[in-house]
Structure 1
Amino acid sequence: MKNLQEYREQAVKADREDALREFRSYFKTQESLIYFDGNSLGMLPLASEEAARQLISRAWGERLIRGWNEGWWDMPLRVSGKLAQLTGCTRDEIIACDSTSVNLYKLVSAAVKMQKGRKKIVSDNLNFPSDLYIIQGVMESINDGHILEMVRSANGIDIDYGRLYDSIDDNTAVTVLSYVSFRSAFMYDMKKVTDYVHKKGALIIWDISHATGAVKIDLNSAGADMAVGCTYKYLNGGPGSPAFMYVNRKLQDKVVSPIWAWLGEKDPFEFSLDYRPSEGVRRYMTGSPNILSLCTLEPSLDIILEAGIDNLRKKSLKLTRFMLELYHAYLEPLGFGLGSPEKDDERGSHISLKHKEGYRICKALIDDSRGKYVIIPDFRPPDNIRMGLAPLYNRFEEVLEVILEIENIVKNRIYELYDTDTGSVT
């Protein structure tokens, strides 16, 4: 095992040689803060702060309603074109709109109706709970005998492909999976699973929320039918920024949204009383786009495209590998467990560290009255400390500092100074 000095030298060297090191200066950082929660809410790009200021003071403050004809109306399509470059599809297959849950509701509803006579929906217990709620809600509203079959992980980290395939059969209408699991960072082989689902005549919807911006995604090459995702994690769009949805061009005439609304109408300003769906993905829009959030999202997409998703994935893997190396050296001997895959091709951009006192350890890390740094990870029950490593702004030296501080908190039982009361948001 390396000694601490060797690890410090390794971290310093990695930061010095980091091809993306300058991108950290594009964000509003704090020297006393180590932020490892970019998988929940990305940092604020400085350009987004300025864009929001300009939109509020000039575009809204001075131009008022004229703003719709001065860029607002076309903003969702312009932003969607940039999302297309990060998700491996064409700009006429993806649209920024609504929330992830609303978009998933549209797609699950449409998929079930397309697959008449098939009564099974397949997912897994590593999927984000809200996705499962949406599936349950669709089944309740359709009320036509559909069932949800949940594939269960044997270890809470990954899903056995054999178990998944055993659940997908000739009665399966649609399979709904997270490409990267929110809890463990387990990452499916998208093409392999999609091919198998299609072999059984079913459709597939991917939730790519915990992957986009940190993992290379190629929806077209994988043959994906549909997908949803959010923009406030690794895409740094800001709290509540709009989600997006993808529908393969070959399916767009068949995927009928259950929500027929003004922005999805062929000619909204004709004010026809009978709905006529717009051409292409615009038909899946509902109400007025959130211009403020689209305005803060777009500069971040420009930053990500400048950095290059291949470069971001390369650094993401280096960061997570370094954290895994330090976990084995410093935390595994203290009774920690690993809640994420060790194989690169099965892991997204966060690491889950498992400890029975995980919540109180998180409280100690966040406490700004102690330690050299305020360290912000997040906690997921029952015992997962999630470390979101954002390659645009996180550094290797930060990884080392965090692991050493966790070791200090556990070795010296500092976590015992904190109660177990949970806040509304963890």
Structure 2
Amino acid sequence: MIERARVLDAGDPLAHFRERFHVPDGVIYLDGNSLGCLPRATPDRMAEVMRKEWGEALIRSWNSAGWIDLPQRVGGKIAPLIGAQPHEVIVADSVSVNLFKLISAALMMRPGRKVVLSEPGNFPTDIYMIEGLEKQGLAERRLVPREQLVDALDGDVALLLLTHAHYKTGQLFDMARLTQAAHEAGALVLWDLSHSGGALPVDLNSCDADFAVGCGYKYFNGGPGAPAYAFVAERHQDDIHQPLSGWMGHAQPFAFSDHYEPAPGVDRLLCGTPGILALAALEVGVALIAEIGVERLHAKSQALSEFFRQCLAEAGVALDLVSPADPAARGSQLSFRHPEAYAICQALIARGVIGDFREPDILRFGFAPAYLRFEDMAEAARHVSDVIDAGEWQRAEFRERAAVT
């Protein structure tokens, strides 16, 4: 398959974008769905911020370098990539914190209703945030299997909270159908785009979505712990009241009033002083993904994942696919079940093939098409075959669980 892979790479219109990222030699990186690779332009931009804007201009850079507008500016660049208007997206805090803000806001917008509906096995932070509000007496958590979600939308549900692309399997929800069902039941909807934003087409406004959150360090390549983003549909912006009334979310933060007055629009989701270095790094990654185009990235992602499956099949690798077989029904990943998934993952990492493991038995491979090649798929499949056929995973150092994988 290696020759076929090289032919595909030669005809790939996105192949040259790999040069815009730092991909370490000897590494096949299939974990961009956890942390994206470093754009080559990011270190220079960070140096400019630190040496010139911070080092020379100091506090003046809040105005002269536009630091004060970075949350809105980067949010505006993310907006068209998720089907939103620029004034509907803000970059701030983390996914967890933004979930807390928006769940709380949705509950206040639906007085008399306390149920936040989700599915068991949703990404833990989403469920934990509901649970935290439940312990304060503000919410009631209801988890039902995804096939029962529509039936569970009764008059007690204030908010439906779901992750668009499941973090373990990559299975996609029908965003438009579920949003409509929730609205028909009088509930609001909050979508977690952490595993879809920047990787596949999302159109929040065409789906009539109410709220969304997403992270900046996966497919947007913003760096470890990059700030997250939040979306509030224009029609809700005058009605939301989020509980973290920090000074940056004030209508006039530099008036230093003793009374909190929320800023107009999505700006009221801001809380504390934004991290300028992190925002500057994220802006580079977002701009690069926008330049490539999400539609093109998604098409290549589907092609890469299907080619990887073909390579595994040709090599006779027996892994149980838990992601949807139809590439249109999954995000930019493939997940397989194997009783020794952890050890296999560690053995592959030792060979330079970096995927990841998810409890209890999931081997997950992410496809970040901005910097992956078809040749990487063929080589990764060969390594998977070698590790399994040779029983390499049985070595003690691969079977011993580490605290961080």
SS at match of 1:398: helix
- Look up the match of 2:125: 130
Query: Which residue, 68, 82, 87 being the options, matches 1:87?
Result: 82
Choose which of 341, 355, 358 in structure 2 pairs with 1:358: 341
1:150 counterpart (136, 143, 147)? 143
Cα drift, residue 328 of structure 1: 3.5
1:314 to 293, 299, 310: 299
- What is the CA–CA distance in structure 2 between the aligned matches of 1:237 and 1:302, rounded to whole Å? 10
CA drift at 1:331: 5.2
Give matches, 1:98-117, under 5 Å: 98-117=93-112
Shift of 1:366: 1.3
Instruction: Indicate conservation of the 8 Å contact 1:360/1:416, yes or no.
Output: yes
Deviations 1:343-365 (A, max 9, x none): 12210001112211111111111
Please tell me the residue identity of whatever aligns with 2:291. Answer: E
CA displacement, residues 234-264 of structure 1 (integer Å, 9 cap, x when unaligned): 0000011100111111011111101111000
Asked if the contact 2:31–2:355 (Cα under 8 Å) also holds between the matched residues in 1, the reply is: yes
After TM superposition, the structure 1 stretch with the greater mean CA deviation from structure 2, 384-393 or 412-421, is 412-421
Letter in 1 for 2:322: G
Residue 391 (str. 1) matches residue 369 (str. 2): yes
Partners of 2:98 and 2:135 in 1: CA distance: 17
Name the TM-score, length of structure 1 as normaliser.
0.92
- What does the per-residue CA deviation read over 1:68-100, in whole Å, with 9 as the maximum and x for residues that have no partner? 112111111111110111111111111000000
Deviation at 1:418, TM superposition (A): 3.3
Deviation at 1:54, TM superposition (A): 1.3
Q: CA deviation at 1:189?
A: 1.2
Structure 1 residues 6-405: aligned runs within 5 Å: 7-70=1-64, 71-141=66-136, 143-144=137-138, 146-152=139-145, 159-160=146-147, 163-330=148-315, 332=317, 334=318, 336-367=319-350, 371=351, 374-405=352-383
For 1:125, what is the secondary structure of its paired residue? coil
**What letter is aligned with 1:148?**
R
Contact 2:130 2:140 in 1 (8 A): no
- CA apart distance, 1:402: 0.8
Whether the aligned pair in 2 keeps the contact of 1:264 and 1:278 (CA below 8 Å) is yes
Q: TM-score, normalised by structure 2?
A: 0.97
| Gaps in structure 1 of 5+ consecutive residues | 1-6, 153-158
How many Å apart are 1:167 and its aligned residue? 1.4
Asked whether the equivalents of residues 363 and 418 of structure 1 are also in contact (C-alpha less than 8 Å), the reply is: no
Q: What is the Cα deviation at residue 8 of structure 1?
A: 2.2
Q: Is the counterpart of residue 425 in structure 1 residue 400 in structure 2?
A: no
Per-residue CA deviations over 1:92-139 (Å, capped at 9, x if unaligned) read 111000000000000101111211122322101231011100011112
Could you tell me whether the CA contact under 8 Å between 1:331 and 1:403 is conserved in 2?
no
Please state whether the residue corresponding to 2:217 is helix, strand or coil: coil
Cα drift, residue 277 of structure 1: 0.7
Q: Secondary structure at 1:348's aligned position in 2?
A: coil
Correspondence for 1:155: none
Q: Residues 379 and 403 from structure 1, CA distance in 2 versus in 1: closer, same or farther, beyond 3 angstroms?
A: same
Deviation at 1:424, TM superposition (A): 2.4
Contact preservation (8 Å) 1:184, 1:352? yes
Identity of aligned residues (%): 41
Q: Distance in 2 between matches of 1:220 and 1:317?
A: 24
SS of the aligned residue for 1:228 comes to strand
Structure 2 Cα separation of the partners of residues 348 and 331 of structure 1: 25
